[in-house]
Chain A
Amino acid sequence: MTVIRAFVSRSAPLMACLGLLAIWQVAALMLKTDSFPGAWEAIKAIPSILGDQESLINILASIRRMAIGFSVAVLVSIPLGLMMGRSRAVASFFNPLLMITYPVPKAALMPIILLWLGVGDIAKMLVIFLGVSLPVIYHSFQGAKAIEEKMLWSGAAMGLSAAQRMIRIVLPAALPEILTGCRTGLVLALITMVTSEMIARQSGAGNILFNALDMGQYDTVYAMIIIIGAMGIGLDAAFERLRARLVRWSEPGFEIPLSFA
C-alpha cells in the first residue's frame, strides 16, 4: 500500500501535466480550428525551435536579461527591505513610493521606459528589475520587521555592532521571508521578460512567440508557450530546492525525534 501511495504522490505532477495535454488534444480535435492546434502538434514543433540556432540565441538572450534583471533587483531590494524593516525613518520614506508603484502593471511603464532608454537590453532589464524588486522589498521588509527585538539585544550584548547585527542577525532571521519574496520575484521576472519582449520586439523568447502569432504559425506559438511554461516550472523547482536547503532550520515538521521531554 505504502509503495503505491508513494508512487502516486511522486507521479502526481506528471499525471497532472499529461492530463492537461490530453484535455487540450481532445478539445483541439473537437474544435478543429487552425488557431488551436493540438497538443501533439505543438510538442512536435518544440525540437525544431530548440534545434534552430537563431531561436536558441533568442531564448538565451531572454534568459540572460532575466538573470541580470533578477540578480540586480535582489541585490538592491534585500538591503533596502531590511533597512525599512529596522528603521521607521527609512520605512516612512520608501513606503509611499512602494504603495504607488505596487499596483501599476510594470508592462504599462514599458512605453515610457522605451522612450527614455530605447528598445535595447537596458529597457527590458529595467522592467524585469521593477517587477522583481517590489515583492522582494516587501517580503524583506516584513521579515525584518517581525524579528524578535530580544534576539537583537542578545546580539548587542555579545558585542555585535549595528552593522554586524544587520548582516549576522537580521539577514538570517528574515531569510525565510526574503526567499518567499524571491520566489514570487522569480516568476514575475519570467512574466515581465515575456511581456517586455512583446512590447519591444527585437529578440527573445517572447519575440519568437509573437512573431509566430503574426505569421499564423500556431504550432510554434503553442510550442513557445510550452517552452516558457517549462522554464517557469524548472526555475521554480530549482529555486524551491535551494530555498529548502537554506532555511531547513525554519521548516515546520522535519523529522523531529520528540521522544524526550
Chain B
Amino acid sequence: MKLMPSRPNVEAKAAPARQTGAAMITIDRVSQVFRTSGRREHLAISDISLTIEDGAFVSILGPSGCGKSTLLYIVGGFVSPTEGVARVKGKAIRGPGPDRGPVFQEFALFPWKSVLGNVMYGPRQQGVKSGEAEAQSRALIEKVGLKGFEHFYPKELSGGMKQRVALARTLAYHPAVLLMDEPFGALDAHTRTRLQNDLLKIWERDRKTVLFVTHSVEEAVFLSDRVVVMTRAPGRIKQIVEIDLPRPRRRSELLLDPRYQKYVVDIEGMIDDTSEDELRP
C-alpha cells in the first residue's frame, strides 16, 4: 500500500495537493497540425510540455483559437497529436478511456435518456449492477443539486442544470482525471458563478485531478492550483502561474483578497501581451 502514490486526504487540506501527488498526466513535446479545407496546414499547438500531478486542479487559459481545447482533446484521446506524446499514469494515450472523463461546453448529454439514465450510463457500461448503479447515481444527482429531477429529460432542463447532469454523468464512472472543456462557457454569468462554487465544493471534497480549459482569467484563478497561460495560434505555453491561495476557497473572501486580485491583474497582462503581432494570416 505504501508504494501507491497517496491521495491527499481532506484533513491535509493545508498542503497543496500537487506536493503529494505523483505525475498523473505528462504532455511531452506535443504539436498538432490541422489540414484546413484549402489544403493549408494550420499549426494549432506547438511543442507543449506539461506535467499535471495527481490531485491538482490545472487550468489552461488563453484567447479563443489558441488550441487550448485541442490540448484537452489530446489528453482525452479524442484527437491524436501530430507530434509528441501524452501519457496518463505513465502510459501513452491511444484513445479515450474511462480513466479520463470529459465535460464539454456543449453538455453532450444523451437526449433520449432521463437525468438518471444519463448518470447511470457509465456505471452500467462498466458492469455495475443496475440497482447499485441507480443508488450511486441518485446520490450523485443529489450531490450536484438536482434531487427531484431524476426523471426529467435533458430537453426539459436549463443550461446550468444540463451541465450539472453532465458533471454527475462523468463523475459516476470515477475517472481519475476530469477534463473540462470550457464547461461554463455557454452559461449566463449568474449560473456560471453558482456552478463554479459548486464545482469547487465537490472538488475540494474528493480532489480529483482536473484539467480545466477556460478563457476567463477570474474563473481560472478562482478554481486552480496552477494556471497555464497560452499564446495565440500557434498555441504555446507562455507562462505557468502557481496560484498560492488557501483552500477551501470562498468567493466572498477571495474577491476581497489582494493576492487574488494581483493574480488576476498579472495574468490579464500576460494575455494582453500576446496581441495582434502574433496573429498570422
> Is the pairing of A and B real?
yes
Residues of chain A having any CB pair with chain B under 8 Å: 148, 150-151, 153-154, 156-160, 169, 172-173, 175, 247, 249-250, 252, 256, 258, 261
Complex contact A159–B98 (CB within 8 A): yes
Complex contact A173–B112 (CB within 8 A): yes
Complex contact B98–A261 (CB within 8 A): no
Residue B65, interface by CB 8 Å: no
Known: A157-B97, A159-B126, A173-B110. Is A249-B153 also a contact (CB below 8 A)?
yes
Query: How many pairs of residues, A versus B, come closer than 8 Å at their CB atoms?
Result: 67
Q: Which of A150, A157, A173 contacts B111 (CB 8 A)?
A: A173
Residues of chain B having any CB pair with chain A under 8 Å: 76-78, 95-98, 100-102, 104, 106, 108-113, 121-122, 125-126, 153-156, 158, 160, 169-170, 173, 175
Chain A residues in 8 Å Cβ range of B155 = 249-250, 252
Known: A159-B126, A169-B110, A173-B111. Is A154-B102 also a contact (CB below 8 A)?
yes
A77 to B182, CA, bound (A): 38
Complex contact A157–B76 (CB within 8 A): yes
Main secondary structure of the interface of B (DSSP, over half): loop
Q: Which of A151, A153, A249 contacts B96 (CB 8 A)?
A: A153
Complex contact B97–A159 (CB within 8 A): yes
Q: Which of A151, A159, A247, A258 contacts B108 (CB 8 A)?
A: A151
Complex contact A250–B112 (CB within 8 A): yes
Q: Which of A153, A156, A172, A252 contacts B110 (CB 8 A)?
A: A172
Chain B residues in 8 Å Cβ range of A172 = 110, 112
Chain A residues in 8 Å Cβ range of B112 = 172-173, 175, 247, 249-250
Complex contact B126–A150 (CB within 8 A): no
Chain A residues in 8 Å Cβ range of B158 = 261
A159 to B174, CA, bound (A): 12
Q: What is the minimal beta-carbon distance from B109 to any residue of chain A, in angstroms?
A: 8
